[in-house]
Homo-oligomer: A and B are copies of this chain.
Amino acid sequence: MTSTDVVLVERAKVGNGVVATVILNRPEKLNALNKEMWQRVGEVFQELDQDEDLRCIVLRGAGDKAVGPGADISEFATMRNNSEQATEYGGLMHASMQAIRDCRHPVIARIQGLCVGGAMELALMCDMRICGAGSKFGVPVNKLGLVMAYPEVEALVGLVGPAVALEILYEARVFDAVEAKDKGLVNRVVPDEEVDAAVASTVEKICAGAPLVNRWHKKFVYKVAAGAELTAEDQAEGFACFDTQDFQEGVMAFMAKHKPDFKGN
C-alpha cells in the first residue's frame, strides 16, 4: 500500500491513443473524499494533462455503489474545525477541482450509485456526465451548517443556472437520475447495467475525432462560458487547426469516404 492507492489510474489503448480511467478508490468508505484523495486527484490530473498520447479521461468511483457520498466527515474535527483550517483544506479541494477543468483532455464522469456532496462537485468539473438510472445526487450541506464555497458554486451555477442551484442548496434533497437530467446536471441517463457501454461509446467517439480539435474545443468552450475577454491571439487560435496534419488527413479521408487516421499533430 502506498499513498497513491486512494486514487488509481488505469490506461487502455483505444485506436491511435490512450484513455485513462481515474478511480476514486476507497470502496470501504464508499469512496468518501479525504484530504489525501483531494490532493491525489489534483496531482493525477496535472500529470495526465502533460500526456501527449492521451485522448480522453474517465473519472469514476471504485465499484458500482458510488462515485462518493461526499467529504469524509470524520476529518472535520481535526482538519476542518474552523475557518482557518477550512481555508487551507478548501484551497486544496479547489485546486484539484480546477486541475480537472484545466486538464486539456476531454474528461467524462462515469456515475453510478451515490454522487453526493464533494463527489458531485468533482463530477461537475468534468466536461460531460453519464450516469446510471439508479444514481443519486445532491448537496445537502445546509444540514451540516456548511456552505459551498465560491469555486463550487461557480461550477454548479454554470451548469444549472441560479434557480436550480438554489433549489438544490435550499432543499438539500438527495434526488434521482431522472431529476438530475431534468435539472441539466447530467448529459445522459442509461440503465445501470449499460453505464459502462454508454461511457465506452462516448469515449470511442472522442477517440475517433482529431485530438487537438477536442482539446481546442474544451479550451474555447470554458473561456467563452467564463465570459473571458478574448484577445486577438485567442481569436487566431480558432484557425490554428488549418495548419495541422490532422486537418489535411480529415479532409482527405472525408473526400475519399474512409475513416481518418488522426495522429494528434
Contact stretch, chosen from A3-11, A18-26, A36-44, A75-83:
A75-83
* B202 close to A150 (CB less than 8 A): no
- For window 139-179 of chain A, which residues contact chain B by CB distance below 8 Å? 141-151, 153-154, 157-159, 161-167, 169-173
* A157 close to B225 (CB less than 8 A): yes
Which of B106, B141, B149 is within 8 Å of A239, CB to CB?
B149
A134 lies within 8 A of chain B by Cβ: no
Give the interface SS of chain A, mostly helix, strand, loop or mixed: helix
Interface centre among A202, A240, A242 (most CB of B within 10 A): A242
* B202 close to A142 (CB less than 8 A): no
* B171 close to A239 (CB less than 8 A): no
- Distance in Å: Cβ of A227 to nearest Cβ of chain B: 5
A247 lies within 8 A of chain B by Cβ: yes
Contact stretch, chosen from A27-35, A45-53, A57-65, A204-212:
A204-212
Please, how many angstroms separate the alpha-carbon atoms of A43 and B155 in the complex? Answer: 34
* B239 close to A90 (CB less than 8 A): yes
What's the tally of chain A residues with a CB closer than 8 Å to chain B?
A: 85
* A141 close to B213 (CB less than 8 A): yes
From known contacts A73-B254, A128-B170, A243-B82, infer whether A147 and B216 are also in contact, taking CB-CB under 8 Å: yes
Residue-by-residue, is A234-265 near B (CB-CB < 8 Å gives 1, otherwise 0)?
11101111111011111100110000101000
* A221 close to B162 (CB less than 8 A): yes
* B144 close to A251 (CB less than 8 A): yes
Residue-by-residue, is A106-132 near B (CB-CB < 8 Å gives 1, otherwise 0)?
100000000000000000000111000
A14 lies within 8 A of chain B by Cβ: no
Please, how many angstroms separate the alpha-carbon atoms of A142 and B81 in the complex? Answer: 48
Which of B81, B223, B254 is within 8 Å of A144, CB to CB?
B254
* B224 close to A153 (CB less than 8 A): yes
Can you sample 19 A-B contacts with CB below 8 Å? A83-B240, A86-B239, A90-B239, A128-B166, A128-B167, A141-B213, A144-B247, A148-B217, A149-B235, A149-B239, A150-B230, A159-B162, A162-B222, A164-B187, A166-B221, A170-B214, A171-B205, A172-B205, A173-B205
